[in-house]
Amino acid sequence: MKLVKERTAEKTEHIRKFAPIWVAAIPFLGISGDRKAVSVLVEVLGDENATLDAIIGAVIALERIGDESVIPALHELLEREDLPTERVLNSSMGAVEDARWQVELNVASALSKLGAPAGRYVRSSNRISMTPGPTSDVMPADC
C-alpha cells in the first residue's frame, strides 16, 4: 500500500515494458481485499498524473475489494476532463487508440458489482455518464 500511496518514479522491468513499481502493486491491493487500501486507490482515481493503466488497475482493485463507499468516486472518475485516454498500439507506426472506453467499461463493471443504482447511459460530447433511470433502460441512448 505504501508504494501506491507514495507513487515514486522507480520502475521495474516487465517482459515488454517498464512500469513504475507503484502501478504494478495496484492489482495486489485488489487481490488482498484489504479495505484499508480503498482511500489510497481512490486517490489514484483523482491523480492527474496517473497513467491509464494505473487508473484502470485502481478501478479493478476497488471492484475486487467491494466497498460500496467508492461509488461516488467512480462516478466522479467518469466526469474527469483530464483522463489519460490514449493507448499507443504500435509505436513505430504511431498508431494510437482512444482508450476511454476501457475506463468506462471497467467503471461500469465495478458499479454493477458494487450495487450502484441502475441507470441509463447518456452520451454527450463523446463521453458516457450515468443518469438515473429505470432498470430496463440500460442501452446507450444513441443506439
Burial class from Cβ neighbours inside 10 Å (0-12, 13-18, 19+) for residue 120 reads middle
13: cell is: 522491468
Residue 37 lies in a domain: yes
Residue 135 lies in a domain: no
Residue 143 lies in a domain: no
In the three-class reduction of DSSP (H, G, I as helix; E, B as strand; rest coil), residue 101 is classed as helix
Domain count, the chain: 1
Domain that holds residue 40: 2-117
With CA atoms as reference, report the closest residue to 106 among 140, 77, 141.
77
CATH number of 27's domain: 1.25.10.10
In the three-class reduction of DSSP (H, G, I as helix; E, B as strand; rest coil), residue 13 is classed as strand
Residue 14 has pLDDT above 90, yes or no: no
Residue 70 lies in a domain: yes
| 18-20 and 86-90 strand pairing | unpaired
Residue 58 lies in a domain: yes
pLDDT of residue 117: 76
Q: What is the pLDDT of residues 52-105, one digit of tens each?
A: 999 999 999 999 999 999 999 999 999 998 988 888 777 677 788 888 999 999
Residue 139 lies in a domain: no
pLDDT of residue 111: 94
